[in-house]
Amino acid sequence: MEATHALYYSKYCFFCQKVLMFIRGKDLDLTLLSTSDKSHAQALMQGGGKTQVPCLRIEQADGSVEWMYESNDIIEYFS
Ligand SMILES: N[C@@H](CCC(=O)N[C@@H](CS)C(=O)NCC(=O)O)C(=O)O
């Protein structure tokens, strides 16, 4: 079984726009979570340890979770 992905982003963030532009049109199973929704910002802080965006939450089939914070790393991950 494959990993599931969620991208935390802010629409005012250049680094987020860079990632969003990159993934646009790609056939990815990815949930987009805006941190303007306080519950998403809170989940990001609690899970990843900081509020910085963009952040990709990767959950493996075995339940292990990775929080990937750097836009270049996220782009590389989906390349
Ligand atoms: N080096 C990071 C920079 C990300 C960054 O600076 N994000 C800003 C928004 S544009 C941010 O989240 N600042 C608030 C914070 O760090 O809590 C990347 O390329 O993803």
- Exposed, middle or buried: residue 71 (CB in 10 Å: 0-12, 13-18, 19+)? buried
Atom of ligand 1 nearest to the CA of 13: 10
Question: What global pTM score does this model have?
Answer: 0.96
**CA of 23: how far to CAs of 32, 52, 61, in Å?**
11, 19, 22
Summarised one tens digit per residue, pLDDT across range 27-58 is: 999 999 999 999 999 999 999 999 999 999 99
| Alpha carbon distance 43, 65 (integer Å) | 13
Ligand 1 close to Cβ of residue 71 (< 6 A): yes
Ligand 1 geometric centre to CA of 57 (Å): 15
Assess whether the C-beta atom of 60 lies below 6 angstroms from ligand 1.
Answer: no
Does 1 score more than 80 pLDDT?
no
Which CATH number describes the domain made up of 4-78?
3.40.30.10
Shortest-distance atom of ligand 1 to CA 50 = 17
Would you state the structure tokens that stand for residue 24, as one six-digit string?
């646009």
